[in-house]
Amino acid sequence: MPFLPWTHVHDVFRMMEDRAPPSLQSLTSYIKYQWMENPVFPVRSWSVYQFVVRTNNDVEGWHHRMNSKARGLPLPFYQLIPVLFREAEMVQSRIAATDIERDVRRTSHLVQQKIATASERYMNKEISSSAFLKICGSIYAAPFQ
């Protein structure tokens, strides 16, 4: 459901909840109270509809790069500051050179294209929300039968 526009999530969830067999009632209740009605994490905050970046991989990559520069050792504060300063200078020079594109693997780019195509078909009402979610699921995992 995170792939849906946030304004569609509640309606789609209600339809799914109505269709769910009694054996899934505890799961639908959990989803309803933990995600649908949670004041701390409103639907708008976890919907990734039309987001190109849906993970924290960029942050993980930066963290790995920082660890490599520190040679995997925990740096004392006074040694960490120059490393962060050099990183800030590098980022500043990349921004100045407009060289701020993300390095994206070909497979990630293909996944993004598939999601974008499915999103467009969904918004054009060519496919149902159920079909859209099945497509999204099949892109990330084995198809559900």
Phi, psi of 73 (to 5 degrees): -95, 145
Nearest-10 crossing angle of helices 6-19, 129-140:
100
The whole-number pLDDT of residue 12 equals 96
Residues 132, 118 contacting (CB under 8 angstroms): yes
> Whole-prediction pTM value?
0.63
- pLDDT, tens digit, for every residue of 23-72? 999 999 999 999 999 999 999 999 989 887 656 666 777 778 788 877 77
Q: Domain residue spans in the chain?
A: 1-49, 57-96, 103-145
Measured at the CA of 13, the angle between CA 140 and CA 125, to 5 degrees, comes to 70
